[in-house]
Amino acid sequence: MFGFLKKDAAPAPSEPTATGAGGTASSGASWRERLKAGLSRTRAALTMPLGELFSRSRIDAELLDDLEATLLTADCGIDASHWLLNELKIAVKRDKLESPLQLRAALAERLTALLAPLEQALDAGGQQPFVIMIAGVNGAGKTTSIGKLAKHFQSTGKSVLLAAGDTFRAAAREQLAEWGSRNDVTVISQTGGDPGAVIFDAIHAARARHIDVVLADTAGRLPTQLHLMEEIAKVRRVIQKAEPSGPHEVLLVLDATIGQNAVQQVKAFDQAIGVTGLIVTKLDGTAKGGVLAAIARQCPKPVRFIGIGEGIDDLQPFRAAEFVEALLGTAP
């Protein structure tokens, strides 16, 4: 049977005040400060070598080779690293750069230019209900991200309904119920059964209640599990039966700690369900934050949100210049 879990369905968990992996405090600090602290591991992987590189006396071939190796270490990927180096070489000749510090500024500018096309805010207007399908591998942070998204949309004045489309993992339903309780949002759930049916019912319930946004969870799966990838493609088709214009957004949640594997996940899920945007989580727990550069070059998709902690406000829209400043410790 379907269940409509209200805010009193489960006790609300206590609000975290720190992120754990990156040690980023969620309270008493601005988002820019938390982002900079959250990216400290990636920044350390970059700035410690870069500090040595940019303290050299001149720009030469050895410096550029070492810079490329540093970018690869931060998981920018071969394609993005080569593109950045070529752009810097052009800038050195065209702008007659001589100081490594000038090269550092040029790197910040080129990296911002590379990431800027990914900066596209999610607009949940125009349809009611606006149906957002959330996908990803196990452990990427899908269910937690849904709770944070609910808070985000509520802060913009929109009503939200959650669909517990992960019908196979009881813990996922319970976790979603807790987020629903915390945000005072109804959760539609079912024990076992067909995930598409749960989301189908949720869309009709949202329409009847004039809800603005439906956040539809799905079970985690690996791209190599072809039968499960076909299953999630079926879920998308069921959504279209309930709402012919939907899903209006298909968000893929990526765990930043997996580095270059994120690129393959984007390609596989995009082929199966047509990914329209990304949520990149756990940036505070990795030295691989440069993977956004790899995504920008190899499989560019809008990065709707990034996460740098466990707190309910630690998921924020992606801003390229802000990200690069936190990553390199310098403004572009």
- pLDDT, one tens digit per residue, over 174-233 is 888 888 888 889 999 887 778 999 999 999 999 999 999 999 999 999 998 999 999 999
Residue ranges of alpha helices (H) inside 156-225 are: 170-183, 195-209
Residue found by looking up tokens 């009881």 in the block: 170
Q: What whole-number distance in Å separates Cα of residue 297 and Cα of residue 313?
A: 29
Cβ count near 154 (within 10 Å): 16
Coil, helix or strand for 300?
Answer: coil
Coil, helix or strand for 189?
Answer: strand
Residues 6+ apart with CB under 8 A from 156: none
Residue 158 token pair: 């929109």
Cβ count near 319 (within 10 Å): 20
DSSP 133-151: EEEE-TTSSHHHHHHHHHH
Which tens digits make up the pLDDT trace of 43-68? 777 766 666 777 777 888 888 888 88
CATH no. for residue 95? 3.40.50.300
Cβ count near 305 (within 10 Å): 22
Predicted TM-score (pTM) of the model is: 0.87
Burial of 159 (0-12, 13-18, 19+ CB in 10 A): middle
Task: Taking each helix axis as running N to C, give the angle between helix 100-115 and helix 291-298, from 0 to 180 degrees, rounded to the nearest 10.
Answer: 60
Q: What whole-number distance in Å separates Cα of residue 261 and Cα of residue 270?
A: 14
Q: What whole-number distance in Å separates Cα of residue 73 and Cα of residue 81?
A: 10
Q: What is the pLDDT of residue 32?
A: 81
Q: What whole-number distance in Å separates Cα of residue 145 and Cα of residue 211?
A: 20
For the chain, how many structural domains are there in total?
A: 1
Q: What is the pLDDT of residue 48?
A: 61
The arrangement of strands across the sheet holding 186-190 comes to: 2-5, 186-190, 160-163, 213-216, 130-136, 249-255, 277-281, 303-307, 315-317
19, 47, 28: which is closest to 283 by C-alpha? Answer: 19
Q: What is the pLDDT of residue 9?
A: 36
Cα angle at 279 between 113 and 257, to 5 degrees?
A: 90
Residue spans of the chain under pLDDT 50: 1-28
**C-alpha distance from residue 95 to each of 59, 62, 91, 102, 106 (Å):** 13, 20, 5, 10, 10
281, 291, 306: which is closest to 21 by C-alpha? Answer: 281
Domain that holds residue 207: 1-332
Question: 321: left (phi > 0), else alpha (psi -120 to 50), else beta?
Answer: alpha
DSSP 245-274: T--SEEEEEEEGGGTTHHHHHHHHHHHHH-
